Structure 1
Amino acid sequence: MHRTRTLAGPLALAVGAGLVLAGGTGTGTAQAAEDRNVARNAGFESGLTGWTCSANSGTTVTSPVHGGAAALKATPAGLDHAKCSQTVAVLPDSTYQLSAWVQGGYAYLGASGTGTTDVSTWTPGSTGWQQLSTSFRTGPSTTSVTVYTHGWYGQAAYHADDVSVFGPDGGGDGDPDPVVPAPPSGLAAGAVTSSSVALSWSPVSGAAGYHVYRDGTRVQSVSGTSATVTGLTADTSYGFQVSAHNAAGESARSAAVTARTAPGGTDPNPNVPKHAVTGYWQNFDNGARVQKLRDVQAQYDIIAVSFADSTATPGQIVFNLDPAVGYASVADFKADIAAKKAAGKSVIISVGGEKGNVTINSDASATAFADSAYALMREYGFDGVDIDLEHGINSTYLTKALRQLSAKAGPGMVLTMAPQTIDMQNTGTEYFKTALAVKDILTVVNMQYYNSGSMLGCDGKVYAQGSVDFLTALACIQLQNGLDPSQVGLGVPASPRGAGSGYVDPSVVKNALDCLTRGTGCGSFKPSRTWPSLRGAMTWSTNWDATAGNAWSDAVGPHVHNLP
Structure 2
Amino acid sequence: MPPARHRRPRAVHSLLAGASAIALGLGGLVLANGPGAHAADTDLITNGGFETGNLSGWTCTNGTVQSTTAHSGTYALQSTPGAGDTGECTQTVAVQPSSTYTLSSWVQGSYIYLGARGTGGTDPSTWTSSPSWTQLSTSFTTGPGTTSVTVYLHGWYGQQPFLADDVSLLGPGGTPSSPSPTGSSSPSPSPTGTGTGSPSPTGTGSGSPTATSTGKPPGLPKHILTGYWQNFDNGATVQRISDVPAAYDVIAVSFADATTTPGGLSFTLDPTLSSHLGGYTDAQFKADIAAKRAAGKRVVLSIGGQNGTVSVSDSTSAANFANSAWTLMQNYGFDGIDIDLENGINSTYMAQALHSLAAKAGSGFILTMAPQTIDMQSTGMEYFKLALNVKDILTIVNMQYYNSGAMNGCDGNVYSQGTENFLTGLACIQLKGGLRPDQVGLGVPASTSAAGGGYVDPGVVNSALDCLAAGTGCGSYKPDTTWPGIGGAMTWSTNWDAKAGNPVANTIGGHLHAMP
TM above 0.5, yes or no, is yes
**Structure 1 residue 476 corresponds to structure 2 residue 428:** yes
Give the Å deviation of 1:229.
2.5
Per-residue CA deviation, residues 252-278 of structure 1 (Å, 9 max, x unaligned), is 957664773599877651132111100
SS in structure 2 of the partner of residue 498 of structure 1: coil
Query: Which residue, 282, 294, 297 being the options, matches 1:330?
Result: 282
1:454 and 1:462 in contact (8 A); partners too: yes
Contact 1:6 1:453 in 2 (8 A): no
Q: Give the distance between the partners of 1:243 and 1:424, measured in 2 at CA.
A: 19
Report if the CA contact (8 A) 1:388-1:417 is conserved.
yes
Q: Which residue, out of 426, 443, 461, partners 1:491?
A: 443
Determine if contact 2:106/2:135 at 8 Å carries over to the other structure: no
Aligned to 1:279: 227
Tell me which stretches of 4 or more aligned residues in structure 1 moved more than 2 Å.
3-8, 183-187, 194-197, 218-221, 232-236, 238-245, 250-268
1:243 and 1:518, CA in 2 relative to 1: closer, same or farther beyond 3 A?
Answer: closer
Shift of 1:328: 3.6
What are structure 2's unaligned runs of at least 5 residues? 4-8, 21-32, 38-84, 90-102, 141-148, 153-185, 194-213
- CA change 1:5–1:476 in 2 (3 A) is same
Larger deviation, residues 270-279 vs 384-393: 270-279
Go from structure 1 to structure 2 and tell me whether the alpha carbon gap of 1:337 and 1:186 turns closer, same or farther (over 3 Å shift).
Answer: farther
Correspondence for 1:260? 150
- 1:355 counterpart = 2:321: no
* Alpha-carbon distance change, 185 to 492 in structure 1, aligned in 2, over 3 angstroms: farther
How much does 1:184 deviate? Answer: 11
Q: Is the partner of 2:227 in helix, strand or coil?
A: strand
Give the C-alpha shift of residue 453 in structure 1: 0.4
Q: Which residue of 1 aligns with 2:515?
A: 563
Which residue pairs with 1:115 in the alignment? none
Amino acid at match of 1:216: W
Q: 1:448 aligns with which of 382, 400, 404?
A: 400
Tell me the secondary structure at the aligned position of residue 378 of structure 1. Answer: helix
Give CA deviations for 1:395-435 in whole Å, capped at 9, x if unaligned. 00000000000000002100000000011001001111111
User: Aligned to 2:297, which of 328, 341, 345?
Assistant: 345
Whole-Å Cα distance in 2 between the matches of residues 260 and 437 of structure 1? 21
SS in 1 for 2:449: helix
- Counterpart CA distance in 1 for 2:384 and 2:501 is 35
Alpha-carbon distance between aligned partners in 1 of 2:307 and 2:350, rounded to the nearest angstrom: 19
TM-score normalised over the length of structure 2? 0.64
Flag the structure with higher strand content: 1
Secondary structure of the 2:309 match is coil
Instruction: State how 1:103-502 maps to structure 2 within 5 Å.
Output: 215-219=105-109, 229=113, 257=139, 260=150, 269-326=217-274, 327-502=279-454
Tell me: CA distance 1:281–1:251, structure 2 relative to 1, closer, same or farther (3 Å).
Answer: same
User: What one-letter code is carried by the residue in structure 1 that aligns with 2:361?
Assistant: A
In structure 2, distance between residues paired with 1:440 and 1:522: 31
Question: For the residues of structure 2 that align with 1:503 and 1:383, how far apart are their CA atoms?
Answer: 29
Does 2:500 correspond to 1:529?
Answer: no
Superimposed CA distance per residue, residues 153-182 of structure 1 (whole angstroms, 9 cap, x where no aligned partner): xxxxxxxxxxxxxxxxxxxxxxxxxxxxxx
- Rounded to whole Å, the distance in 2 between the matches of 1:419 and 1:477 is 14
Once the two structures are superposed, the pairs formed by residues 84-103 of structure 1 within 5 Å of their partners are none
1:411·1:441 contact (CA, 8 Å) conserved in 2? no
- How many percent of aligned residue pairs carry the same amino acid? 55
- Contact kept, 8 Å, 2:106 with 2:134, in 1: the verdict is no
For 1:261 and 1:411, the matched residues in 2 are separated by: 22
State the shift of 1:215 in Å: 3.1
- Contact 2:116–2:125, Cα closer than 8 Å, also in 1: no
Distance 1:558 1:421 in 2: 26
Seen in structure 2, the aligned counterparts of structure 1 residues 332 and 216 have a Cα distance that, compared at 3 Å, is same
Q: Kindly tell me the number of residue pairs found equivalent between the two proteins.
A: 364
| 1:96-134 per-position Cα deviation (integer Å, ceiling 9, x unaligned) | xxxxxxxxxxxxxxxxxxxxxxxxxxx9xxxxxx9xxxx
8 Å CA contact 2:104, 2:137 repeated in 1: no
2:429 is the counterpart of 1:539? no
Unaligned runs of at least 5 residues, structure 1: 16-20, 23-122, 124-129, 131-182, 188-193, 198-212, 222-227
For 1:505, the equivalent position in structure 2 comes to: 457
The answer as to whether partners of 1:241 and 1:257 remain within 8 angstroms in 2 is: no
Does residue 1:5 correspond to 2:44, yes or no? no
TM-aligned CA distance change 1:239 to 1:443, over 3 Å: closer
Q: CA deviation at 1:239?
A: 10
User: Which amino acid in structure 1 is aligned with residue 113 of structure 2?
Assistant: V
Rounded Cα–Cα distance in structure 1 between residues aligned with 2:388 and 2:406: 25
Normalised by the length of structure 1, the TM-score is: 0.59
SS at match of 2:234: coil
Tell me the distance in 2 between the aligned counterparts of 1:239 and 1:388: 27
**TM-superposed deviation, 1:323:** 1.2
> Bigger relative contact order, structure 1 or 2, given CA contacts below 8 A and separation 6+?
2
Q: SS of the residue aligned with 1:492?
A: strand
Amino acid at match of 1:309: D
CA contact (8 A) 1:494 1:541 kept: yes
Deviation per CA, 1:507-528: give whole Å up to 9, x if none: 1101100100111111110011
CA distance, structure 2, for counterparts of residue 255 and residue 393 of structure 1: 27
Cα pair 2:108 2:129 within 8 Å, conserved: no
2:392 is paired with a residue of what secondary structure?
helix
Alignment CA distance shift 1:341-1:253 (3 Å):
closer
Shift of 1:456: 0.2
Question: Aligned AA for 2:2?
Answer: H
Work out the CA distance in 1 between the residues paired with 2:401 and 2:127.
35
